[in-house]
Each structure stands twice: as C-alpha cells, then as structure tokens.
A = this chain, B = another copy of it.
Amino acid sequence: MGANTFNETHQITFYETDVTNTVTPSMLINMIILASEDQTTSLGVGSDVVSQLGIGWVVTQYKIDITRMPQVNETITLTTRATCYNRYFAFREFWVHDEAGNECVHVESIWVTMNYESRKIVTIPEAIIKPFESEQVKMIPRLGRPKRLTDADQVMTKQYGVRYFDIDGNGHVNNSRYFDWLLDALPMSFLTRHDLVSLNIRFENEVQYHHTVTSEAALVTDVTSSITTKHRITMADGEVATEAECRWVPKQTATEPQTD
C-alpha cells in the first residue's frame, strides 16, 4: 500500500506568471509547497505541531521536470505524496496537471528535519511522518548532482541583496527566491525565447536577511539538442548557498512577448 496522496486545485493569477504569461519557477515552488502544507495540516502534523518538537522540515533538493509550464488563468491540480523515507531523509513527489488531465510538471524533492537551535539535521520523528503512510526504505532515490560551474566557463554574474519581503512566516528566506536569483542572471533575450524543461537544484547553505548574494550562470555548449545552463549562488565569503542545473528548449511558438 502506497503513501496517501493529497490534491487541490488552483487558478493561476497574473502575478504568478512572467512576461510570457507563463508560471515562474519561483511561483511553481510556492504552489507545490502550498499543497504540501495543506496536506500536513489536514493530517494534523502541520508546521505548528512540528515546531513544538523544536524542529522544522527543510528541503535540500528539488528535481523538476516540465512537460508544459501552465499559463495565466488556467486551473491546475496540485498533487503531492510523501513517497518514502528513511532515518534522515524523506522523499516527496509533486505533480501539476492541467484541466484536461495532462501532466504538466513532476517534482521530486528531498527533505530533512532540522533542529532550530543547533541547525543540525535530526532523525525524522516517527510521529510527524507516520500520518502520510509513507514507505520506510533503506535508501531514498538519488536525484543526481547538478553539473558544476568550472573555471573554464564563461560566467554571467549578478548580485542581489536579501530583502525584508524575501523572509517568510518561518523567519527564513523563502526557497522560491533562489529561483529568481538563479534565473535572472540569464539575459532576458534567452529567457523569453526558451522553455525550461528541467531544473535540478541543491540547497547547501542558508542565506540571511541583509546578505548580498552573487548569482553566477553559464551556458553549456554541447552536442545534445537541449540547452543546459549551470548556476551557483554564493555568499560574500564565497560559501556556496545553492547549485543548480537547468535544461531548456527553444520556444515552440514564435510569438514575442508584448512590449507595449
């Protein structure tokens, strides 16, 4: 018997989309996290209950596969399942389907429980994982490492200050903000002409309010049909906050965004 699934519908607003009226990666993450929060709350193990144990759930990696990113005004179905777990890691999946029932997005993610005080990873307490009927396993699936930037890469760089409104209700920089920093390092001409088809992101170290972060990106030129970009976000001391790898295809439709 598999883990129980949870789903809810959501209508895409204009402020969840970009200049091409397509859902932004950061808003995609917000939407799926909303579904998982609603599942945990419905099972009586929401963040209020978890925080009473002095811990919190933290994502360490997302692997996102995109068949078609939804557009403004579409009503989507968000589905999630805490598929399996072991002593330290939980593996959670998400799906986005459109109104016709077609799969638009599949997300695999790895979660840990972190002690608030020590900021150390702790054994996942049985009480907060049991309600999901998640399969207990020796090894959770590996999502692979994003390709790393090297000295040989021609790197595009931008800097960002962490803002007050980047901090969410948990007192941390909202994970979705990293996606904006990562992708904004690419030129607008690239972003409006390509569709993101996959994104693999690992969170290594947490950035804080008032930090200045550097977002570095490079295009990988190889012989495959898809285009790959490699990304890294570092802090002032050079410490790596996040590494990511994206794959892209040229947009099918030749329509340029409105520039009225």
Q: Which residues of A contact B (CB under 8 A)?
A: 13-15, 17-21, 24, 26-27, 30, 33-34, 37, 51, 56, 72, 116, 158, 160-161, 163-165, 167-172, 174, 176, 180, 183-184, 186, 188, 191, 209, 257-260
A26 surroundings in chain B (CB, below 8 A): 165
A18–B209 alpha-carbon span in the complex (Å): 13
- The residue on B at minimum CB distance from A41 is B73
B19 touches A260 (CB 8 A): no
Q: Given that A15-B30, A18-B164 are known contacts, is A116 also in contact with B184, CB under 8 Å in the complex? A: no
Our pick among B15, B168, B259 for the contact of A174 (Cβ within 8 Å) is B15
A14 surroundings in chain B (CB, below 8 A): 30, 33-34, 37, 168-169
- The residue on B at minimum CB distance from A159 is B161
Our pick among B34, B164, B184, B209 for the contact of A15 (Cβ within 8 Å) is B34
Given contacts A13-B30, A19-B169, 20 further A-B contacts (CB under 8 A): A13-B34, A14-B30, A15-B27, A15-B33, A15-B176, A18-B167, A19-B164, A20-B169, A21-B169, A116-B260, A163-B184, A164-B188, A164-B191, A169-B258, A170-B258, A170-B260, A171-B259, A171-B260, A172-B260, A188-B209
B260 touches A56 (CB 8 A): yes
A27 surroundings in chain B (CB, below 8 A): 15
A174 surroundings in chain B (CB, below 8 A): 15
A168 surroundings in chain B (CB, below 8 A): 14-15, 17-19
- Closest Cβ of chain B to A26, distance in Å, is 7
A165 surroundings in chain B (CB, below 8 A): 18, 24, 26, 180, 183-184
- Closest Cβ of chain B to A206, distance in Å, is 12
Q: Given that A171-B257, A260-B170 are known contacts, is A163 also in contact with B180, CB under 8 Å in the complex? A: yes
A17 surroundings in chain B (CB, below 8 A): 168-169
Q: List, sorted by A's number, 8 A–B pairs whose CB atoms are closer than 8 Å.
A: A14-B37, A14-B169, A17-B169, A18-B168, A51-B258, A164-B188, A169-B257, A171-B258
- Closest Cβ of chain B to A215, distance in Å, is 10
A170–B176 alpha-carbon span in the complex (Å): 23
A160–B33 alpha-carbon span in the complex (Å): 28
Residue with the greatest number of chain B CB neighbours at <10 A, chosen from A17, A184, A260: A260
A158–B163 alpha-carbon span in the complex (Å): 10
A172 surroundings in chain B (CB, below 8 A): 260
A68–B146 alpha-carbon span in the complex (Å): 45
- Closest Cβ of chain B to A177, distance in Å, is 10
